[in-house]
Amino acid sequence: MRGGRRGRRSAARCGCVVWAWLITEILSGCSSLPAAREMGDMALLRTMGVDSAPAGVAVTGSTGPRAKGLQTEGEPSLVLTAEKPSLSGACLAMQGQSDSYVFFGYVDQLLVGEELARSGVQPVLDYFAQDVELGLGAQLWLVRGATAREAVSSGGEEGADSRLETLQNDSKMGIAAISRTAGEVYTDLLELGAAFVPALTPAGDEIAVLYENGYGVLKGDTLAGFMDGEAARGLELLAGGSVADILEAEGTEASVKIISSHTTSGLDFRNGALAALKINCRVEARLAEYRRPLNSGELERLQREIEDRERARLEEALEQLRAWGADCTGLGAKAAMSHPGQWQGIRADWPEWFAKTPVKIQVQVRIRE
């Protein structure tokens, strides 16, 4: 019995020693592990652009000014480009263009060129979803009127990365376009059959800079068109976004700032048939600037002015979306919660119902003093 216990203790000690050795070797980055690499030997891509190309697809990647492994702070951005029949082939070809191992696990900005978006973005999203390094957490942008390569290469030595990060942070604070991740767009395309994506355009004489340029609307996985100006504002209202806006009120010497909005939708059935799509938009605003206190009559007039303007924006956005049959903000799916049984009868053909069903819009504005 004692000998058996000693044997078991000895085996246990041996096992512990083996595990300790393995952990030490792994943590030390031993040469027997081919995948282990030092950070200084890696080019960490931050931004990736994808375009259509004669050979198939063109991929452009940028490290940002301080992301090439352990490079010094002053080292410029590294930009790599490869063109192959497939995304995986283009990404692999980029490895041969750098002295360092090109690592895609830090990509947090994905730009898609307009030409590729018109032919279909699903292959790009599928590749990101399946790749072990990439994933769908990156912010997604459509490049309008230019290629993704031009956009990724903008910004001079600083690269496009810092500009994209600024736009993303501004979006979180409600002072820029609504940002979307690749995962959010991927989910919308699967569940709604449509999605909206913020659009960018590089512009500038000597050094191009990325500027917001409305939204691109995807129907299926292809680009149906772009929305600008008041229509883009209406899209933001439909999506429940709280992009800051200022209204200069006439005759009151006052400015009103829109601080939030919330939009709900419902279905109106008459005798078992869909009669209307109802949209209710609630807007919160506050007096941002005024030279004198406003009386109740002026506040009511100002409230009606904001309601009329926001209703016009909603109507303009819906006109475009209905023409495309693209319910990219999920109005039908949200409205279905009140009529789940009847929704099942029209769900499969909702794009057609969305395009032809009359819309009733109600806007309510609350002004804080």
Query: Residues 185-203: pLDDT tens digits?
Result: 999 999 999 999 999 999 8
Report the topology of domain 231-368.
Answer: GMP Synthetase; Chain A, domain 3 (3.30.300)
Q: Measuring CA to CA, which residue among 122, 126, 105 is closest to residue 61?
A: 105
Give the per-residue pLDDT at 13.
43
Query: Residues 300-336: pLDDT tens digits?
Result: 888 898 899 999 999 999 999 999 999 999 999 999 8
DSSP string, 311-334: HHHHHHHHHHHHHHT--TT-HHHH
Quote the CA–CA distance of 48 and 139 in Å, as a whole number. Answer: 10
Domain chopping of the chain, boundaries: 39-227, 231-368
State the pTM of this model: 0.83
DSSP string, 166-223: HHHHHHHTTSSPPP-BHHHHHHHHHHTSEEEEEEEEEE-SSS-EEEEEEEEEEETTEE
Quote the CA–CA distance of 287 and 299 in Å, as a whole number. Answer: 10
DSSP 293: P
Residue pair 271/264 in contact (Cβ under 8 Å)? The answer is: no
Print burial letters for 186-220: b (CB count within 10 Å at least 16), e (below 16): bebbeebbbbbbbbbbbeeeeebebebbbbbbbbe
Quote the CA–CA distance of 130 and 280 in Å, as a whole number. Answer: 39
Residue pair 144/216 in contact (Cβ under 8 Å)? The answer is: yes
12/94: higher pLDDT: 94
Looking at residues 61-83, what average pLDDT do you find? 69
Strands 47-53 and 56-62, sheet pairing: antiparallel
Quote the CA–CA distance of 78 and 63 in Å, as a whole number. Answer: 5
The tokens 């068109």 sit on which residue? 225
